[in-house]
Amino acid sequence: MHDLKDRFLSLDTFRGMDVALMILVNSLGSTTTYSPLLHADWHGFTLTDLVFPTFLFVVGNAMSFSQAKYEAQGEANFLKKVFKRTFIIFLLGYLMYWFPFVDVNESGEWFLKPISETRIFGVLQRIALCYLFASLVIHYFKIQGALIFSILALVLYRVILMAFGDLTLEGNAVLKLDAWLIGENHMYKGEGIAFDPEGLLSTLPAIVNVIAGYAAGLFLQRNGKNYETIAKLMMIGAALLLMAAWWDLMFPINKKLWTSSYVLHTVGLGLIILSVLVFIIEIAQRNKWTYFFEVFGKNTLFIYLLSEVFVILMWSIRIEDQSLYSWIYQSFFQSWAGDYNGSVLFALWVMLSCWAVGYGMDKRKIYVKV
């Protein structure tokens, strides 16, 4: 997505670590596993709830290096680049949910999966929309205006949620807007009812995660790799965590609603983790361990899509009365490692398989860019 040579190694490593964890938590053998690897049921926070907002944060980091270059090419070229990238990422996310496009009915006949029942919003779609709006806000209002927008967006989101619903799964405004706009057939149903944790309304606060990542990347570039820089980033991160804890009392931290307190909490953690990585990798020069994660960071979108398609295919292929996914998990992992460890080992196998593909691509200098 931008020139590798221009970036901080710590930012590449941070992104790679997040992608590795994203694949891990998305590929568990079963939900009978260690609680940090599962999303919070509703209000609350786990390690897994940090993964997606951190990815948006590192998208913003990357933008802080590429945005000025695209803007220098002129208004028309800048807008063309932004909208083209948004469209491609959104389309890939949509096609991923429609994949493998066909299914088999009870009579053994193949049929085309109906578009009328395909999920519209999702992970890649949210990344696309957040990238689009963050790019436009930063382009037209600069960084100061973008930070003001962020404050207003978080406050406005709280007002909207409280004015047009409540904070329950069944009664929230995110669900109501999606149900009215696209209908329940196009919504995620993994919560037991039609509710999309990547719905349109909750995209508003998620834009702030991208803007925060952009601001952090810009701050690093302008202030350099030194103790003062990372101290300031850590202090801002700690302040945001305190603000999130205070706001959580009235507006609970909730990943599935992407509440404003959740944004402050995840941005605060992102700043602290980034500061630690800058210290270890850039200042202390302890970087011999980073290559494993750099592989994920160099072909991020491709490897993420590969992991999702890999999992979908394993779920789609049947072996007798169960999916290939379940058969591999039960036969090669659960059978000797048990539920908890077997589930994690299966996810590690999926993650390492994707890493191996990324490693081969890196050795051949193959980088898929959007």
8 Å CB contact between 213 and 58 = yes
β-bridge mates for residue 103, sequence order: 111
Q: Which amino acid is located at 132 in the chain?
A: L
Q: What is the pLDDT of residue 4?
A: 39
Q: How many domains does the chain have?
A: 1
Q: What angle do CA 73, 366, 78 make, to 5 degrees?
A: 15
Residue with token string 């599962």:
38
On whether residue 370 sits in a domain, the answer given is no
Q: Nearest Cα to 275, choosing from 24, 61, 6, 1?
A: 61
* Residue numbers of the chain with a pLDDT score lower than 70: 1-7, 105-108
Distances (CA, A) of 57 to 40, 298, 325: 20, 16, 31
β-bridge mates for residue 319, sequence order: 322
Distances (CA, A) of 167 to 62, 178, 253: 33, 15, 11
Distances (CA, A) of 248 to 48, 175, 208, 211, 261: 18, 21, 17, 22, 6
**Token pair of 15, please?**
């992104």
Q: What is the pLDDT of residue 28?
A: 93
On whether residue 28 sits in a domain, the answer given is yes
**Token pair of 363, please?**
């050795």
**Token pair of 157, please?**
């989101």
pLDDT tens digits for 147-195? 999 999 999 999 999 999 999 999 999 999 999 999 999 999 888 899 9
8 Å CB contact between 103 and 110 = yes
Count of residues in the chain? 370
pLDDT tens digits for 36-48? 999 999 999 999 9
What backbone phi and psi angles, to 5 degrees, belong to 111? -145, 155
Q: What is the pLDDT of residue 303?
A: 95
What backbone phi and psi angles, to 5 degrees, belong to 102? -130, 160
On whether residue 369 sits in a domain, the answer given is no
Residue with token string 């409280």:
162
Alpha helices in the chain (DSSP H): 9-26, 51-71, 75-98, 123-163, 173-181, 203-223, 227-248, 260-277, 291-298, 300-316, 324-329, 335-363
DSSP 210-247: HHHHHHHHHHHHHH-SSHHHHHHHHHHHHHHHHHHHHH
Q: Give the largest Cα separation in the chain, rounded.
A: 68
> CA-CA distance, 201 to 178, in Å (whole number)?
8
Q: Give me the domain span that covers residue 266.
A: 4-363
Distances (CA, A) of 160 to 81, 96, 153, 304: 32, 31, 10, 33
On whether residue 344 sits in a domain, the answer given is yes
On whether residue 13 sits in a domain, the answer given is yes
**Token pair of 169, please?**
């799964």
On whether residue 161 sits in a domain, the answer given is yes
> CA-CA distance, 257 to 191, in Å (whole number)?
12
pLDDT tens digits for 104-128? 766 667 778 888 888 999 999 999 9
> CA-CA distance, 55 to 65, in Å (whole number)?
16
On whether residue 320 sits in a domain, the answer given is yes
Q: What is the pLDDT of residue 6?
A: 44
**Token pair of 66, please?**
């590429």
On whether residue 64 sits in a domain, the answer given is yes
